[in-house]
Structure 1
């Protein structure tokens, strides 16, 4: 009997490492990609949509629908900051590729997700690679959405390590902390992949340069990652890049390579630590209720077989 393929929607803000993850997914028989939804984060939402079409063109998968998502946060705040210093103004390392023609789905990202999950309850896996605004909107608009999800894998958080926006906060949760806190309050079908494990996974500069000329995507990925590598050299003094988004995809593909801890999560929406993710690790019986008490328990990645994950991802990038 053949392997059952997961039906996967990628909610994305491409972004250089999003580009890696999306193209690796296109090279992975474990998943059937049935849609891309876009959100702000690494770039503003319209640029994310444009880049989604570019990735589909490169992969030869232009039949996959793209639904454009939120341009404001869950609290209705206009986005005035994106990570262009990490990914370039165009999201692809300032390579300034020609625009790709593509027709957006007529539905918003939230409506697109709601309809897919309603039509195929328990079957849809969503990989959220940016702020989870679209997911929060879907859960708010349709109370059955969270219940009917198959699985939600979220890239975000820094639970037992420093953040990457500031010492407290990881970028995706910083981008929309109200959305993140809302989502963690509404579903137990969540796996969270934060900096605790993504900082264990790296691609070296030589590995990225070595992708040139390999497979369908290697030259494109080698080209766009030069800007990303320079950011890591300047910010971390390392001749390598952290593998954030592809590591989150690895959870969808090979969950057994990760070690998990169950717990309830709050994301701070106020204070100097706005966006900080705090987990009740279930190691104490509390003597009174607290703001974590009634939240669903989710699975948080706390360790990873980094060598195996990065080797498999690199192989797919150059296949």
Structure 2
């Protein structure tokens, strides 16, 4: 395929592990991403913050605490975030038909007795970014409400955060909520527009990428047969997820949305990126649409696109290497 304008090459990462906060709505593929992050020496996961999306926020918090306990990482704090969109609307859509009523494939595992910390997620994000300016990478796997609130509350947040890696958007492909919108952006379009235009170092992985990265039914069987407790756990949780993919997409495979995005934190060179401004349609028939201005054109008339800071949008992916890296780490004993 032709290489888009303004393609960015390999993005170099420092040798010490990245301090990572995962903003998450677990979610079966969130569980995959969290376990992968915990098994990746390139990352130092210092906290999880929770948000609605695949499940409602209280369930996301319970699931996050459970996943950390299962992984033997009770040292990692969990901070609960917004239960509604930024301006207080109730969440319109919870993806229980994708992830099950419990968010973990209707496996209903034994849950942790541990509680989240008292600090509200946006306040916690601000606290950590100020404690470690330039060092924190936030991997956002759900709607961007917590992050947008942090930007609005602290004008220095966008410049102090090291990087924000976002699962979201549908760039030049159809969405997965409707033809226009991807689920995370649709969950809070206003919050997404705030983040895309805030001036932080932002890397976006949309479903134009994650629909290329998948595990087949055989791959899932390999997880179940592995000596890894993580592989066996994810195999059991993925039955419901795989059924959804057969019914919705007519494929014997599952898309690896969240874990593929986490790979961008571990090894960004497995994708290539284009730079440009991204804006989000906030209402109407195209609510949640992410529009990417990847051109060098100088516009004659002033518009809402003028002066918008550029972000990096993933445009190609080494599908086989990403899927293999995920499988390798999640099946390792």
TM, length-normalised to structure 2:
0.94
Q: How many residues align?
A: 318
For residues 122-271 of structure 1, what are the structure 2 equivalents within 5 Å? Answer: 122-212=134-224, 213-271=226-284
Q: Does 1:18 align with 2:30?
A: yes
For residues 70-109 of structure 1, what are the structure 2 equivalents within 5 Å? Answer: 70-109=82-121
Cα RMSD (Å):
1.1
Alignment partners' CA distance in 2, 1:292 and 1:16: 36
Alignment partners' CA distance in 2, 1:224 and 1:189: 34
Corresponding residue for residue 309 of structure 2? 296
Q: How far off is 1:41 after superposition?
A: 0.2
3-state secondary structure, aligned to 2:229:
coil
Q: Does 1:121 align with 2:133?
A: yes
Residue by residue over 1:230-259, the C-alpha shift from the partner in whole angstroms, topping out at 9 and shown as x without a partner, is: 000000000001110001001000101111
Corresponding residue for residue 50 of structure 2? 38
Alignment partners' CA distance in 1, 2:189 and 2:86: 9
Residue by residue over 1:255-304, the C-alpha shift from the partner in whole angstroms, topping out at 9 and shown as x without a partner, is: 01111000101110011010000011124222122211121100000110
Q: Does 1:28 align with 2:1?
A: no
Matched-pair contact (CA < 8 Å) for 2:92–2:187:
no
Query: Is there any run of 5+ residues in structure 1 with no aligned partner, and where?
Result: none
3-state secondary structure, aligned to 1:217:
helix
Q: How far off is 1:80 after superposition?
A: 4.1
Matched-pair contact (CA < 8 Å) for 1:157–1:194:
yes
Matched-pair contact (CA < 8 Å) for 2:163–2:200:
no
Alignment partners' CA distance in 1, 2:248 and 2:39: 31
Alignment partners' CA distance in 2, 1:263 and 1:62: 40
3-state secondary structure, aligned to 1:114:
helix
3-state secondary structure, aligned to 1:261:
strand
Alignment partners' CA distance in 1, 2:96 and 2:106: 9
Q: Does 1:7 align with 2:19?
A: yes
TM, length-normalised to structure 1:
0.98
Query: Is there any run of 5+ residues in structure 2 with no aligned partner, and where?
Result: 1-13
Q: How far off is 1:125 after superposition?
A: 0.4
Matched-pair contact (CA < 8 Å) for 1:192–1:300:
yes
3-state secondary structure, aligned to 2:223:
coil
3-state secondary structure, aligned to 1:112:
helix
Alignment partners' CA distance in 1, 2:112 and 2:221: 25
Q: How far off is 1:210 after superposition?
A: 1.6
Matched-pair contact (CA < 8 Å) for 1:188–1:297:
no
Q: Does 1:309 align with 2:322?
A: yes
Residue by residue over 1:10-60, the C-alpha shift from the partner in whole angstroms, topping out at 9 and shown as x without a partner, is: 000000000000001010000000000000000000000000011101110
Alignment partners' CA distance in 1, 2:227 and 2:163: 32
3-state secondary structure, aligned to 1:62:
coil
3-state secondary structure, aligned to 1:260:
strand
Alignment partners' CA distance in 1, 2:301 and 2:276: 17
